[in-house]
Amino acid sequence: MSFSFYEVYITAQRAFTAMGFPYGSDEDAAFIIAWLELNNFDGVALLASLINELDQKYEGKIKLDNLNKEVNFKNKSILMKGPGLIDFISSEMKRKNKISIKIINCKNGILFLPLLYNKSEFVNLSKLSFCDTNNAMKTYEIVNKKIIFNIKNNVNLVQENVVNIYMDNKEYNSKKNIDKKVISEISIQENLSKSLKPLSKAWNKISKIANKTFVPESEESRNRGAGGGNDND
C-alpha cells in the first residue's frame, strides 16, 4: 500500500482523536508520526506499538518548576507531553543563550526529533540524545535546517528511558560533520514527492482506530448533516 504524507497525517490525526487526544494535541501528535514516516523512521509502526498506552489515557500536563532539574515524564508518552515541553523551551530560548534539559522516565526519544526540527529556524543548534532498546546511544544535531546524526555503542553514557535535549544560540559550524548521515530540506522535499509505504499490519491497525471517528449512517445522522447529503441532491 502506498500513501501520501497528507494521507498518513490525516489518518494518524483521526486515530489520535479517537484515542481521546484533545483538539490541537491530536494535530501535534499526528505531525510527529507523519514526519517520522516520511523520513524513514517507521512512524506508523511506532504508533501502532504504542496504542495500549495511548488509548483514552491522554495526560499532557508537565510540571516545570526548574529547567535546571530533571523533568519527569512518569512514563507518559512524548506524543502527549512533548509538544508542550518543546514549545516552552523554545519560548525560553528567546531570553537565554542556551538550555540543557534532562528528561527521565521518558521512552521513544525519537519522537522529539520532528518537534525540534520544526523549531530549528529559531534556534542555531538543537541536540537530542537517548539510548534505544538495543543499548545504542543515538545523537541528533540540528543546525541550519539539517539533522546530523550518528549511533554508537552506549557505554553507560545515557541511561535507558532518559532523554537529553540541548539548545544553543551560538554560531555553529556543521561542516565538520559533513561525512555523517544528514537529513535536510532537500531530502525531505524529495521524500514528499514519493509515496509512503508503511507496514501493512501497522497501517491497518491505525486505520481501524481512525475509522471510529466516522459517524455511523442513520436517519438521525443524515438529519444532522453527516454523509454530505443536502436538499439539492
Give the rounded percent of residues in the chain with a pLDDT score beyond 70: 85
Owning domain of residue 67: 5-212
pLDDT at 88 over 50: yes
Question: How does pLDDT run across 90-112, given as a tens digit for each residue?
Answer: 988 888 889 999 999 999 999 99
Number of domains forming the structure of the chain: 1
The pLDDT confidence band at residue 177, using thresholds 50, 70 and 90, is: low
Contact 200, 7 (CB under 8 A): no
CA angle 46, 193, 110 (to 5 degrees): 25
Instruction: For residue 201, tell me if it sits in a domain.
Output: yes
* Distance separating alpha carbons of residues 120 and 24, to the nearest angstrom: 21
pLDDT at 230 over 80: no
Instruction: For residue 229, tell me if it sits in a domain.
Output: no
Written as one letter, the residue type at 117 is Y
pLDDT for 175 = 58
- Is the overall model pTM greater than 0.95, yes or no? no
Instruction: For residue 233, tell me if it sits in a domain.
Output: no
Question: How does pLDDT run across 70-81, given as a tens digit for each residue?
Answer: 899 999 999 999
